[in-house]
Amino acid sequence: MPAHIHLIRHAQGHHNLTPLNHSLPDPLLTPLGLTQCSQLMSRFPYTPLVTHIVASPLRRTLYTALESFSALVEGSEGSTRERLRVIALPEIQETSDLPCDTGSSISLLQEEFGQGRWKDVVDFSLLKEDWNDKSASSPWAPAETAVEQRAHKARLYLRKLADDWERENAGEEAHIIVVTHGGLLHFLTEDWCGYNKILGTGWENSEFRTYTFKVGEEAMRDGVDMASFQEKNESLKRRQGRDERLTADEERELRAVGAGSGEMWMEESKKDKGKGSVDAAPGGEMVESDEFKK
């Protein structure tokens, strides 16, 4: 049965307000970001069907998942439905190595989410101590090849999560919410349509799109199972008014332009760190530059 993957970009964080805030480590959501979560909660049409919630381990994505889908993790009065936990998946963290795109240590995350309203509702078991190491030799490095590899690994994980659930729940389809970042979403979907190299993404804060997995030869590339996504027609219609999709050649052209400029911007971010002004990064959120547009 087809699994449904609902990809969501996080709500507005403090680093989205001004380039100067890109030096903030693992920033939280703004008041507007919290409002966006409430709006997402009311307009997301698949909540009763959701079987899993997966999120990047950065705080803005975790809080977007928790605030937007609180009914699923806290439960509602009179409901017999089992409460869901949010699975923190390191492979879908943001792409750049700026402080705002670098996650907190496991110990700090466990302390923050081990008390109060969200006590023990986030599963950090997939995180290793070096999950937030963005050095050049790390699998989490802000390099195009490394990001492609972890996006592929994330798709394989999500497909297995869906397959395992559907095998145990015969006749039902998995609906997986995935809350991640603007830059990473292009690598995850392999879709560069609307990519903006200034903003670093073609996704709005708290935007959601729905996908299924390609099957058979469509999922293969050079003999490798890519576990690729295909956006559902209803999702395409919702965001662009029609369900037309790009051809394979058009996707390849966009990929060359998008990822190529992404790599360039990543390199520029390394050279320009420490300067006063910053601009959007291919990692979705921003790198330093002399020009800022938002």
The Cα–Cα gap between 156 and 4 comes to: 14
Whether pLDDT at 26 is above 90: yes
List, for residues 145-177, the tens digit of each pLDDT value: 999 999 999 999 999 999 999 999 999 999 999
pLDDT of residue 80: 67
Q: Is residue 294 part of a domain?
A: no
pLDDT of residue 278: 33
Query: 240: pLDDT confidence band, cut at 50, 70 and 90?
Result: confident
Q: Is residue 230 part of a domain?
A: yes
Whether pLDDT at 261 is above 60: no
pLDDT of residue 123: 98
Whether pLDDT at 254 is above 80: no
Question: 209: domain range?
Answer: 4-288
| In the chain, % of residues over pLDDT 90 | 74
C-alpha closest to that of 65 among 110, 109, 7, 3: 7
Quickly count: other Cβ atoms within 10 Å of residue 108's Cβ: 13
pLDDT of residue 279: 35
Q: Is residue 100 part of a domain?
A: yes
Q: What is the CATH number of the domain that holds 22?
A: 3.40.50.1240
pLDDT of residue 30: 98
List, for residues 102-127, the tens digit of each pLDDT value: 999 999 999 999 999 999 999 999 99
Q: Is residue 268 part of a domain?
A: yes
The Cα–Cα gap between 160 and 148 comes to: 19
Q: Is 153 exposed, middle or buried (0-12, 13-18, 19+ CB in 10 A)?
A: middle
Between 287 and 74, the higher pLDDT residue: 74
pLDDT of residue 259: 54
Between 270 and 145, the higher pLDDT residue: 145
pLDDT of residue 194: 83
Q: CA separation (Å) from 52 to 63, 68, 88, 160, 196? A: 16, 14, 11, 12, 30
Q: Is residue 157 part of a domain?
A: yes
Number of domains the chain is built from: 1
List, for residues 42-79, the tens digit of each pLDDT value: 999 999 999 999 999 999 999 999 999 999 999 876 66
Q: What is the pTM of this model?
A: 0.87
> 3-state secondary structure string, the chain?
CCCEEEEEECCCEHHHCCHHHHHCCCCCECHHHHHHHHHHHHHCCCHHHCCEEEECCCHHHHHHHHHHCHHHHHCCCCCCCCCCCEEECHHHCCCCCCHHHCCCCHHHHHHHCCCHHHCCCEECCCCCCCCCCCCCCCCCCCCHHHHHHHHHHHHHHHHHHHHHHHHHCCCCCCEEEEEECHHHHHHHHCCCCCCCCCCCCCCCCCCEEEEEECCHHHHEECCEECCCEEECHHHHHHHHCCCCCCCHHHHHHHHHHHHHHHHHHHHHHHHHCCCCCEECCCCCCCEECCCCCC
Query: 246: pLDDT confidence band, cut at 50, 70 and 90?
Result: confident
pLDDT of residue 282: 35
